[in-house]
Each structure stands twice: as structure tokens, then as C-alpha cells.
């Protein structure tokens, strides 16, 4: 079994050694330009077109992250990059769900306990106890209800908040109300106080968090973007913050990364920013997951995590 590896920042030797431990007998190598030797599987992040092009014998390509939009965008420009029928897999969890839960729960509690307001008062040297928010008025809505979105929704429901999710198709998560399809989006938004975005990046979801959507949220809403920067229209968020419709925002992803120093998001007092770290790939867990999936493929089974090239996730 031959496996090729490419990642612009990961240590290739660490991954080569790790995958060989997970799959004894496998031949794992770092891919270099000009390498056209046989390969059964490819482990990639932002792969060059020539790495995958013409490899009709590939049994699987693994994106080394939860998102596959970088590969799908290249496929749009270079349709022959991936041979017909070669399955594309994403990392469904591998420790990312727990990280997303930590991030989302900590920030929701920060807003719910009004720590943002107390920080603003602190900067004015004001000692002023504020009225508590009520859980029943603090409905949390998840845009996107896949593996990560479902885990985040369940973790927030455990804190007693009203939690709802919206996705392409209806989902069943304990303690979570489910909405699906364009026809139920307005109903989902109505009364949502905290909007958390975990949507996949598809042509249909680009720019979805815009002026029209924000205006349908509850007054003094909060927005958390943990998916992709292209989902959010930044100027519309700034306008909603200035009008008071949105009270605060937590942003982890941006249309341009790193976020340029001159971007006005940096200076807004009610926007918190982190550098795309809400959930990162944990190499050991990822290698265990990939090795398990490869063994299933080799045994003729149908593993989870395969991406629909039509839907984009």
C-alpha cells in the first residue's frame, strides 16, 4: 500500500512515521513535484493540482481538516484534478468536536453572564451590578448541524439553554429543535439571541450572514463565526453592531487570513477575534481515524466521512 502526503505546514516526517505505525507495511512518502509514482491513498491539505491529477488508481483522498472547500474550489477550476469515482474524505471529528464545544460554550457563557459588559464597566472604573439574563430569553441557534454542529448544539443544551439548529435536512439531536431548508430559515432566526455559524462552505452559503439575516435575529443578538470567513458580510455585521441590533461578535475565521491590520474588525470594541483556532487537526487522532478508514476500505466496507462532491460536504 502506497500513501502520499502533502501539507504546507505540518511536519511530514512525523506524519510518515505515524502512519507507518498505524498501518504496518504501508509505504508512506512525502509528495514532491514530479512524483508520479503509484499511490493508493493521498493525505492532503491545499494540494497542488499535479499531485492528484491523473491518479486514477487512488482509493481515497483524505483532507487533513474538517473542511474540504480548498479541494472543491480547485476541482471547479481543474475538473480533471480528481479522477472520476475517487472518493474524497474529510476528518469528521478527531478531537475537533471537543475543541468546538469548548470554544462555543465558553463564549456563550461569557455573554450570558454579561462579562463583556462588566469588562466595559471595568475600563470606566464603574462598580455596577447588572440585571442577569434569563436562560429562556437566550435562545441559541446553530447554522449548520453536521458532526461538529450537532456536538456543539448538544453541549449547549446541557447547560439548559433553548437550542435550535438549521441545516439542509432535518436532524435529530437530544434537546435541540431542528429546522431545515430555506423555507424554515426565517422561523429558525426568529427569536434566536445567539447565532453560531458552523455551515460548510458552498456556493449556497457564501455571504449568508448578511444584513437581511442579521435583522431577523432577536434584538441585541450575538454572533459567533466558527466556519468560514466567506459566510459573513463584514460590513453588514459592523452596521448591525452600530445600530445595536447585534450586541457583540466572536470571530475565528475571515475572508482574508491573516486578517489585515487595517481591517476595521480589529478596532471594534464589541468584536472579539481569534486566529482560526477554534478547532485544529490533532495529528494522533487524525492518523488513527485515517488508518481506521483505510482498513475499512481495504476490507470492502463503506466508511463514514465521504464528501458529496455535489453538496460540497
Model pLDDT for residues 10-43, shown as the tens digit of each residue: 999 999 999 999 999 999 999 999 999 999 999 9
Based on the domain organization, do 45 and 185 belong to the same domain?
A: no
Q: Put the strands of the sheet holding 140-143 in their side by side order.
A: 176-180, 163-167, 140-143, 194-197, 221-225, 246-251, 271-273
Mean pLDDT over all residues of the chain?
95
Name the DSSP class of 4.
Answer: E
The residues annotated as belonging to the active site are 228, 276
Q: What's the whole-number mean pLDDT along residues 108-135?
A: 98
pLDDT for 231: 98
* Predicted TM-score (pTM) of this structure: 0.91
Tally of domains within the chain: 2
How do residues 195-204 score in pLDDT, each as one tens digit?
999 999 998 9
Q: What's the whole-number mean pLDDT along residues 165-170?
A: 95
Q: Is residue 180 included in any domain, yes or no?
A: yes
Q: How far apart are the C-alpha atoms of 41 and 229, rounded to whole Å?
A: 30
| CATH of residue 161 | 3.40.50.720
Q: Kindly report the number of other CB atoms within 10 A of residue 234's CB atom.
A: 19
Cβ contact 118:133 at 8 Å: no
Question: Residue 310: pLDDT above 80?
Answer: no
Expressed as residue numbers, the domain containing 6 is: 2-93+281-299
Q: What's the whole-number mean pLDDT along residues 166-193?
A: 96
Return the bridge partners of 221, or none: 246
Amino acid at each position: 500500500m502506497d500513501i502520499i502526503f502533502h501539507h504546507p505546514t505540518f511536519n511530514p516526517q512525523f506524519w510518515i512515521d505515524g502512519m507507518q505505525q498505524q498501518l504496518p507495511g504501508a509505504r508512506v512518502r512525502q509528495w514532491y513535484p514530479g512524483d508520479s509514482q503509484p499511490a493508493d491513498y493521498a493525505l492532503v491539505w491545499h494540494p497542488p493540482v499535479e499531485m492528484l491529477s491523473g491518479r486514477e488508481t487512488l482509493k481515497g483522498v483524505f483532507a487533513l481538516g474538517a473542511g474540504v472547500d480548498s479541494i472543491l474550489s480547485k476541482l471547479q477550476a481543474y475538473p480533471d484534478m480528481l479522477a472520476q469515482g475517487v472518493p474524497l474524505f474529510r476528518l469528521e471529528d478527531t478531537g475537533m468536536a471537543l475543541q468546538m464545544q469548548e470554544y462555543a460554550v465558553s463564549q456563550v457563557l461569557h455573554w450570558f453572564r454579561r462579562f463583556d459588559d462588566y469588562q466595559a464597566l471595568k475600563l470606566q472604573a464603574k462598580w455596577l451590578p447588572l440585571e442577569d439574563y434569563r436562560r429562556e430569553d437566550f435562545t441559541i441557534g446553530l447554522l449548520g448541524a453536521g458532526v461538529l454542529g450537532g456536538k456543539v448544539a448538544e453541549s449547549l443544551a446541557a447547560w439548559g439553554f433553548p437550542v435550535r439548529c438549521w441545516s439542509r435536512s432535518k436532524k435529530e439531536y437530544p434537546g435541540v429543535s431542528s429546522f431545515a431548508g430555506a423555507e424554515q430559515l426565517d422561523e429558525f432566526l426568529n427569536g434566536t439571541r445567539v447565532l453560531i455559524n458552523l455551515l460548510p462552505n458552498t456556493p449556497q452559503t457564501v455571504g449568508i450572514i448578511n444584513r437581511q439575516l442579521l435583522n431577523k435575529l432577536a434584538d441585541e443578538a450575538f454572533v459567533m463565526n466558527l466556519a468560514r470567513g466567506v459566510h459573513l458580510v463584514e460590513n453588514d455585521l459592523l452596521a448591525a453592531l452600530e445600530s445595536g441590533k447585534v450586541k457583540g461578535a466572536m470571530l475565528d475565521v475571515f475572508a482574508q487570513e491573516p486578517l489585515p491590520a487595517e481591517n476595521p474588525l480589529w478596532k471594534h470594541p464589541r468584536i472579539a477575534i481569534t486566529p482560526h483556532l477554534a478547532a485544529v487537526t490533532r495529528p494522533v487522532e487524525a492518523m488513527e481515524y485515517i488508518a481506521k478508514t483505510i482498513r475499512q476500505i481495504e476490507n470492502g466496507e463503506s466508511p463514514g466521512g465521504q464528501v458529496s462532491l455535489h453538496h460540497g460536504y
